[in-house]
Amino acid sequence: MIDPDLIRSQTSVRQIEYHAELPSTNDFALQRLREPPTGPLPMLVLADRQTQGRGRGDHRWWSSDGALTFSLGLALDPGQLPQARRSLLALAAGIAVRDAIGRWLGSSAVQLKWPNDVYVDDRKVSGILIELPSHPPDVCVVGIGVNVNNSFHDAPAELRRNAISMSDACGAPCQRGDVLLHILKDFDQSLQMLQQRPEMILQRWQAFCMLTGRWVCLRTQTQTTCGYCQGIDQQGRLLIDTQQDTRAFTSGTVEWT
């Protein structure tokens, strides 16, 4: 069960939009932000089922019954979070999701995959999508999908190999309302850390980067770069040692061995 009063009393969320089904919680949140009056922010958009969930680029988020899918609509204060620091929002959200899931699965078992995924045993348990629209300015949408109790029996073959749910990992069902509440509380803390001590976001993310030291190949639209991952730099870019030089990337799709 999702308890709206508990969420409002223990987190910064001020309004909640609940739907049994939506094509995309991110799309719905963006639409609400573009159609004033938006009401008080942060705004939580929650759907029991998402039919056209989006990931980075042209990726799609596949979800089935038992998954947790939601988006947060936030107002960004330029004084507290300037433009140059907003590229770290995905890292801050990843830390929050990792910390929350770690309460069920054990902190050391949950790792971060650049730029916006959370993994358990080399299998994806959560994905994050940050969207910063140009209009209206100084707002963002943080979309989060977590495999909580959903089964991958009917999922595409690639997902059955590469994804995992919290219930599969810990051997018992997990209460989605509790998972949501902890993610929201931890995100409040991560956002405050990003505003006040951004170096701590980078340090914490680096500590749980699952790619560090691994041989990786990063694909962009124009090239593929392979080498040993050296973690992230002060701008949150992925560092790859190609054995000729070290290159920094702001985006791309990563494969690893």
Domain parsing of the chain, residue ranges: 4-207, 215-256
pLDDT value of position 62: 65
pLDDT range class, residue 61, cuts 50, 70, 90: low
Q: Return all residues near 188 (Cβ < 8 A) that are at least 6 apart.
A: 11, 12
Which pairing describes strands 123-131 and 68-75: parallel, antiparallel, or unpaired? Answer: unpaired
Query: What is the Cα 107 distance to its own chain's centre?
Result: 17
pLDDT value of position 131: 96
Average pLDDT over residues 173-195: 98
Is residue 60's pLDDT more than 70? no
- CA–CA–CA angle 28, 33, 38 (5° rounding): 110
Residue 96, H or E segment:
helix 89-105
Residue range 4-207 in CATH 3.30.930.10: yes
Category of 177 on φ-ψ map: left (φ > 0), alpha (ψ -120 to 50) or beta: alpha
User: Is residue 63 within 8 Å of residue 127, measured between CB atoms?
Assistant: no
Is residue 56's pLDDT more than 70? no
Identity (one letter) of the amino acid at 41?
L
Rounded CA separation 64/62 (Å): 7
Q: Mean pLDDT, the chain, as a whole number?
A: 93
- 187-219, pLDDT tens digit by residue? 999 999 999 999 999 999 999 999 999 999 999
pLDDT value of position 256: 95
Q: Is the pTM of this model over 0.85?
A: yes
Is residue 178's pLDDT more than 60? yes
Per residue, what are the HEC states of 67-90?
Answer: CEEEEEEEECCCCCCCHHHHHHHH
157 or 164, greater pLDDT: 164
38 or 174, greater pLDDT: 174
pLDDT value of position 191: 98
Domain 215-256 CATH (choose: 3.40.50.620, 3.30.310.10, 3.50.50.60, 2.30.30.100): 2.30.30.100
Q: Is the peptide bond before 37 cis (omega within 30 degrees of 0)?
A: yes
User: Is residue 134 within 8 Å of residue 31, measured between CB atoms?
Assistant: no
Average pLDDT over residues 169-180: 96
pLDDT value of position 87: 94
